[in-house]
């Protein structure tokens, strides 16, 4: 969690300095969800992530240096500078990609779960999505299919109270758990600020999925302290109150978990993470930019290229 | 050898690939029963684990194929109705197609989307009669429209073996075409066109079921005009070399294309020919009208589709 928090703080600085172009959707405040779920997964299990995906990618085990290089658009980035913040993928680490369409990754996760089941593997796939995805048809279609076919996956709803600026109460009729129940899926609603609570629920859901009992929905009640996207830092919006933010900050996931370990251990972790982040920033800064002549490299698996572009007369 | 129908050729291609490669599977609505002919008999032969009936959830099962492809499967998705491609444009154009580039080449998405009955099937009206191959060509998804049974066989086999997402349109008005097949059916490379008839005056580029119409028109005009009929077979990537070679001989071009006119395949072929190839007369295209929605009544449906009379008139016009 400290790694994710510090990574995001660094990324925010780099957005301000212009080293990260296009901005980010910061994960600060929600760290316990990614960490609690990913700590319950095996290394060969898979995840799909969201536009607010840095936390998932780091928690699943990606190299922070290559992740930061990706945000900076470098050729050494996870996606060789072709994906950026919203599309970070690290297939070797089991990350099938962050996805910029709300709810868009859930069926992809279901397909991976279906392939795992067919191949006889006992892999489990976790698909993360926000409360905003609860109103996307494709997510509901996916829940139906996943329940029907008892796919080895878990649905992780990070309910941070807002779909961009729209409060969940104004957007969602019924509830996440109610949607799960409609498809016969069990659900667990957990305190998303407490990593141990998330981990316990995730471990239970993952074990059930691995055991052939099908998917579970976990709804983690959480909060983002920062903006939906860094573009908000330039436009002052008033969809939530400072008091509300402060109320959630008082239940900070790092403090809740930090209180469970010794002060010495906590400070040791903080020190180690500071070094990792410093070295990630150095790595990203010193990495080469991708070659514009190869802007559309990787578009086709076959290496096919189309007409047009800078070389055209 | 017996005559092979276009529908049977697709069915045989799929069966051969299911037999050859255990990672190939078929997902779609009513595929076990085989209502659209593509999968007829395959559920019985390969079982429900390989030929999978899905509920009516096109968006979910289309992206499920992407997820399965990321994990080593080679799914084939059947859409009974061409207009469903609009519903899953997000899942094909925005997800499957973009994964290879966005991940910096970490993955490929070998999914084949088949529409066994695209375009008008007469009497099915506005939401079952679209032919949106130009739309997929525009976004850069590999897009195939076979005209003959042997090409339908060979191109479906190639699409399934290809590592990129590929959409294959089987025009409803071609599904009944039969062909004497005297040689072994073989894969046809994606991106290679075929000249069905050689000629010296005009090159007619015809797509899908319109190839047969173009050949009939060429026969009719034979005493008067020598028409070369070129079938791109793959609309993206397009075989520009073979078109350039044909225009070196004829210098005149007509495209017959079942797309709406604006930004359709015909527009691209004319623009490329005008920019890069030998033309001695202004080229013409015969298409659906701008922004066409197929109306129901048969006379209206036909009035909106490109047809042989318009083609003959366009050929005569480029000869003037």
Interval A149-202: pLDDT, tens:
999 999 999 999 999 999 999 999 999 999 999 999 999 999 999 999 999 999
Same fold, B3-180 and B194-319: yes
Q: Dmax over Cα atoms in chain A, in whole Å? A: 66
- Average pLDDT for chain A: 96
Q: Domain B194-319 carries which CATH code?
A: 3.40.50.920
Q: How confident is the model at residue B317 (pLDDT cuts 50, 70, 90)?
A: very high
List the single residue in B with minimal CA-CA distance to A151: B64
Partner A contacted by B29 (CB < 8 A):
no
**Nearest CB partner across the interface for A298, out of B63, B71, B104:** B104
**Nearest CB partner across the interface for B55, out of A79, A87, A144:** A144
Asked, for residue A285, whether it belongs to a domain, the answer is yes
**How far, in Å, CA of B199 to CA of B180, rounded?**
23
Q: What is the pLDDT of residue B1?
A: 58
Q: Taking CB atoms and an 8 Å limit, are B100 and A77 in contact across chains?
A: no
Q: What is the pLDDT of residue A309?
A: 77
How many Cβ atoms are within 10 Å of A313's Cβ, its own excluded?
3
Q: Taking CB atoms and an 8 Å limit, are A114 and B57 in contact across chains?
A: no
State the best of A62, A69, A301 to mutate against chain B, taking most chain B CBs within 10 Å: A301
Kindly report the CATH class assigned to B3-180. Answer: alpha beta
List the single residue in A with minimal CA-CA distance to B55: A145
For the whole model, what pTM was predicted? 0.96
**How far, in Å, CA of A46 to CA of B143, rounded?**
31
CA proximity to B286, closest of B228, B214, B224, B219: B214
For chain B, domain boundaries? 3-180, 194-319
Query: Cβ-count burial of A82 within 10 angstroms (0-12 exposed, 13-18 middle, 19+ buried)?
Result: buried
Asked, for residue A88, whether it belongs to a domain, the answer is yes
**Is the per-residue pLDDT at A313 higher than 60?**
no
**Is the per-residue pLDDT at B289 higher than 70?**
yes
Domain of residue A218 covers 2-294
State the best of A44, A71, A141, A152 to mutate against chain B, taking most chain B CBs within 10 Å: A141
Partner A contacted by B54 (CB < 8 A):
yes
Q: What is the pLDDT of residue A216?
A: 98
- Which residue reads 């990606």 in tokens? A62
**Nearest CB partner across the interface for A145, out of B49, B61, B69:** B61
Q: Which of B97, B128, B131, B196 is catalytic?
A: B128
Q: Taking CB atoms and an 8 Å limit, are B101 and A306 in contact across chains?
A: no
- Per CB-CB distance under 8 Å, the chain B contacts of A107 are 59-64, 66-67, 91
Q: How confident is the model at residue A312 (pLDDT cuts 50, 70, 90)?
A: low
Q: Taking CB atoms and an 8 Å limit, are B103 and A101 in contact across chains?
A: no
**Share of residues in chain A with pLDDT > 90 (%):** 95
Q: How many CB pairs under 8 A join A and B?
A: 145
Question: Is residue B128 among the annotated active site residues?
Answer: yes
Helix (H) or strand (E) holding B210: helix B210-220
Residue A181 distance to chain B (closest CA, Å): 19
How many Cβ atoms are within 10 Å of A121's Cβ, its own excluded?
13
**Is the per-residue pLDDT at B129 higher than 60?**
yes
**How far, in Å, CA of A183 to CA of B161, rounded?**
36
Partner A contacted by B105 (CB < 8 A):
yes
- pLDDT tens for A4-45 read 999 999 999 999 999 999 999 999 999 999 999 999 999 999
**Is the per-residue pLDDT at B2 higher than 80?**
no
Q: Provide mean pLDDT across the span B239-257.
A: 98
Q: Taking CB atoms and an 8 Å limit, are A107 and B62 in contact across chains?
A: yes
- pLDDT tens for B171-206 read 999 999 999 998 899 999 999 999 999 999 999 999
Q: What is the pLDDT of residue A255?
A: 97
Q: Three-state DSSP class for B60?
A: helix
DSSP readout, A161-226? SEETTEEHHHH-SS-HHHHHHHTT--EEEEETT-HHHHHHHHHHHHHHHHTT---EEEEEE---SS
- Per CB-CB distance under 8 Å, the chain B contacts of A101 are 90, 94-95
Q: Taking CB atoms and an 8 Å limit, are A79 and B103 in contact across chains?
A: yes
Q: Taking CB atoms and an 8 Å limit, are A112 and B67 in contact across chains?
A: yes
- pLDDT tens for B63-111 read 999 999 999 999 999 999 999 999 999 999 999 999 999 999 999 999 9
- pLDDT tens for A54-91 read 999 999 999 999 999 999 999 999 999 999 999 999 99
Residue A268 distance to chain B (closest CA, Å): 35
List the single residue in B with minimal CA-CA distance to A125: B67
**Is the per-residue pLDDT at A311 higher than 80?**
no
Q: Could you tell me the CATH number of the domain that includes residue A8?
A: 3.40.50.970
Q: Taking CB atoms and an 8 Å limit, are B67 and A109 in contact across chains?
A: yes
| Total domain count, chain A | 1
Please list, residue by residue across B225-255, b when 16 or more beta carbons sit within 10 angstroms of its beta carbon and e when fewer do. bbbbbbbbbbbbbbbbebbebbbeebbbbbb
Q: Taking CB atoms and an 8 Å limit, are A111 and B71 in contact across chains?
A: yes
**Is the per-residue pLDDT at B283 higher than 70?**
yes
């Amino acid at each position: 969690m400290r790694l994710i928090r510090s990574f995001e703080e660094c990324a925010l600085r780099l957005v301000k300095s212009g080293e990260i172009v296009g901005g980010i959707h910061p994960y600060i405040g929600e760290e316990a969800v990614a960490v609690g779920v990913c700590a319950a997964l095996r290394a060969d299990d898979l995840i799909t992530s969201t536009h607010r995906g840095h936390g998932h990618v780091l928690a699943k085990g990606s190299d922070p240096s290559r992740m930061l290089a990706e945000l900076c658009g470098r050729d050494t980035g996870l996606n060789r500078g072709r994906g950026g913040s919203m599309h970070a993928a690290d297939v070797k680490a089991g990350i099938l990609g962050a996805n910029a369409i709300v709810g868009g990754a859930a069926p992809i996760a279901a397909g991976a779960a279906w392939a795992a089941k067919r191949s006889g593997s006992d892999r489990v796939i976790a698909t993360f999505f926000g409360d905003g995805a609860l109103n996307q048809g494709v997510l509901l279609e996916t829940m139906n299919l996943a329940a029907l076919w008892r796919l080895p996956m878990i649905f992780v709803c990070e309910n941070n109270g807002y779909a961009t600026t729209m409060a969940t109460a104004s957007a969602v009729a019924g509830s996440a758990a109610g949607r799960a129940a409609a498809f016969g899926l069990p659900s667990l609603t957990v305190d998303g600020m407490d990593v141990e609570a998330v981990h316990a629920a995730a471990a239970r859901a993952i074990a059930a999925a691995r055991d052939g009992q099908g998917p579970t929905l976990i709804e983690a009640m959480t909060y983002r302290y920062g903006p939906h996207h860094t573009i908000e830092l330039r436009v002052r919006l008033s969809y939530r109150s400072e008091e509300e933010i402060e109320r959630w900050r008082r239940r900070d996931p790092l403090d809740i978990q930090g209180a469970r370990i010794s002060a010495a251990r906590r400070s040791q972790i903080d020190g180690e993470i500071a070094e990792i982040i410093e070295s990630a920033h150095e790595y990203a800064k010193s990495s080469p930019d991708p070659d514009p002549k190869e802007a559309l490299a990787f578009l086709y698996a076959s290496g096919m290229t189309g007409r047009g572009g800078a070389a055209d007369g | 050898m017996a005559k092979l129908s276009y529908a049977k050729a697709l069915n045989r291609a799929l069966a051969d690939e299911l037999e050859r490669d255990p990672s190939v599977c078929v997902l779609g609505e009513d595929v076990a029963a085989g209502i659209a002919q593509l999968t007829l008999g395959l559920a019985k032969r390969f079982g429900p684990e390989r030929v999978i009936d899905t509920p009516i959830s096109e968006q979910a099962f289309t992206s499920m194929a992407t997820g399965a492809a990321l994990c080593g499967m080679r799914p084939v998705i059947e859409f009974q109705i061409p207009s469903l491609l609009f519903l899953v444009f997000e899942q094909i154009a925005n997800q499957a197609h973009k994964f290879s580039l966005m991940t910096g080449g970490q993955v490929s998405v070998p999914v084949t989307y088949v529409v066994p009955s695209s375009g008008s099937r007469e009497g099915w009206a506005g939401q079952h009669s679209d032919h949106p191959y130009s739309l997929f060509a525009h976004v850069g998804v590999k897009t195939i429209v076979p005209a003959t049974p042997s090409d339908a066989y060979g191109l479906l086999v190639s699409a399934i073996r290809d590592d990129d997402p590929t959409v294959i349109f089987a025009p409803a008005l071609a599904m009944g075409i039969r062909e004497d097949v005297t040689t072994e059916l073989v894969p046809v490379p994606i991106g290679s066109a075929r000249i069905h008839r050689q000629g010296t005056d005009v090159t007619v580029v015809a797509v899908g079921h319109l190839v047969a119409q173009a050949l009939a028109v060429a026969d009719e005009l034979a005493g008067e005009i020598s028409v070369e009929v070129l079938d791109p077979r793959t609309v993206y990537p397009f075989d520009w070399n073979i078109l350039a070679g044909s225009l070196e001989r004829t210098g005149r071009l007509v495209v017959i294309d079942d797309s709406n006119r604006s930004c359709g395949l015909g527009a691209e072929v004319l623009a490329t020919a005008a920019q890069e190839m030998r033309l001695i007369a202004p080229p013409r295209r015969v298409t659906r009208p701008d922004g066409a929605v197929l109306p129901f009544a048969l006379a209206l449906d036909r009035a909106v589709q490109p047809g042989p009379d318009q083609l003959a008139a366009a050929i005569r016009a480029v000869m003037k």
